[in-house]
Amino acid sequence: MKIRQRIISVLCVCAVMTACGCTADKKSEPKSSSDTEDKAESSQAAEDGGRISALEAKVEEFSDKITELENKLAEFDDFDFEEEIHEVYDDTAVVEAYKSGDDSALTDEKDKFILKAVTEAIDEIIKDDMTDYEKEKAVYEYIYKTTRFDNGSLSAIDDSDEFSHTPYGVLHDHTAICVGNATTFKLFMDILGIENELIHSTEEGEHAWNLVKIDGDWYHVDITFDGGGSEPSYSYLNVTDRIKLADGYPWDDSLPECTSTKYCYSVLNAKECKDIYALPEIIAEALENGDKTLYVRIPVPEGTLPEAFTGQLQCIGDYIEGGRYFIMGTSVMLTDNDTQAVAGYTIESELDGLDDFDIPDDTDITLAEIDYDKLRELFEEKTDGEVSLSEFSSDEVMSYVYGGLQNDLYE
């Protein structure tokens, strides 16, 4: 391995340079036949002998360190620094066991756990009178809310959970990468009898997601790419080919086309917005209602290239700033023969992690006397309106204060 050889060579050079540095330190003395000079030479020889012994010990120490490093680097000889391609889980045995009610054919304990966990989940989230779309949405929510993304899988040296690419990782460890989300979603769909396909794209890096057939039409479903925070945004629940192609992961063109928006979540839940200038009022209503996700349907202005209008909406979504709110635009799609654009926004409050605190009634904290209205006016004045301070209540202030102090003052 070239990297290992280079490191060892550098250490060897360092050892030699150290040795040279030690020997070069020796001072030359002029030769003399006197007894005093003989004694001096004898003393110098003894000193040199000591230095040589120390040098030999140093070289031996370097040799030991090089050997140790060689052993450690040898462990990386078979390490592939290219992105790992994960095996796709085969759910056939678990699906058959679920449908037959007999798990005796399952020999893997992990498969037995998967069967038990998926059975319990279905009993919890699926009702007999649900439509296929409602069942699909319930599964999407379940996987999203019970799983965290396995960031360790992104490390150069993988410290990820071993099974995060399988339903076992999702259902047992509650960690997943894209392949884990996709295989778990497929498992649920297979058990529920909803026609589906799994896409495992590896041409431009690895990514996996699903196709699902609802009422005769096919849709893309990508739980991993959902743009939500504490709650799913459903931004990739039943989207079209056009949306997925923008993500840059190609797939086999022999798979069914996805062109319908009939059961696309964002289209089904979009609020009518007569034009772009009505958007601020609709967002204000969403903030007041505490909505986590907002979708709006806006007519494409006459004479406008539809794809250009979606780009404009995407830009606006990326530049909306909400003071104490984080507002992020999601994908924009065209519907109704490209006459309508549906734009999405996820909304997270900075207080979402704080407002659950149980602040004691007897809390006595002295706050600075700040005229927030004056501060707002100065922001507007000094920055020509470029920066603003949103309105907030005294309770919200206390949430921030108590949230920051709880570990220090109230343990």
pLDDT of residue 157: 35
Q: Do residues 332 and 317 touch, judged by C-beta distance below 8 A?
A: yes
* Residue 281, helix vs strand vs coil: helix
Distances (CA, A) of 336 to 196, 262, 323: 25, 10, 35
Please name which of 273, 258, 179 lies closest in space to residue 213, comparing C-alpha atoms: 258
Each residue's pLDDT tens digit in the chain (411 positions)?
A: 434 444 444 444 444 444 444 433 433 444 445 555 565 566 666 666 666 676 677 677 767 767 776 666 565 555 443 557 899 999 999 999 999 999 999 999 999 999 999 999 999 999 999 999 999 999 999 999 999 875 544 333 343 468 899 999 999 989 899 999 999 999 999 999 999 999 999 988 999 999 999 999 999 999 999 977 778 999 999 999 999 998 899 999 999 999 999 999 999 999 999 999 999 999 999 988 989 999 999 999 998 999 899 988 988 888 887 777 888 888 899 999 999 999 999 888 765 654 455 555 665 666 677 788 888 888 788 878 777 777 777 776 766 666 555 444 333
Please name which of 18, 21, 14 lies closest in space to residue 66, comparing C-alpha atoms: 14
Question: Residue 359 and residue 398: Cα distance in Å, rounded?
Answer: 9
pLDDT of residue 1: 41
pLDDT of residue 295: 96
Residue that the structure tokens 């699926």 belong to: 126
Phi, psi of 133 (to 5 degrees): -65, -40
Bridge partners for 196 per DSSP: 212
Contacts for 287 with CB less than 8 Å, ≥ 6 apart: 322, 325, 347
Domain ranges of the chain: 2-74, 85-265, 270-349, 357-411
pTM attached to this predicted model: 0.67
Q: Which fold has domain 85-265?
A: C8orf32 fold (3.10.620)
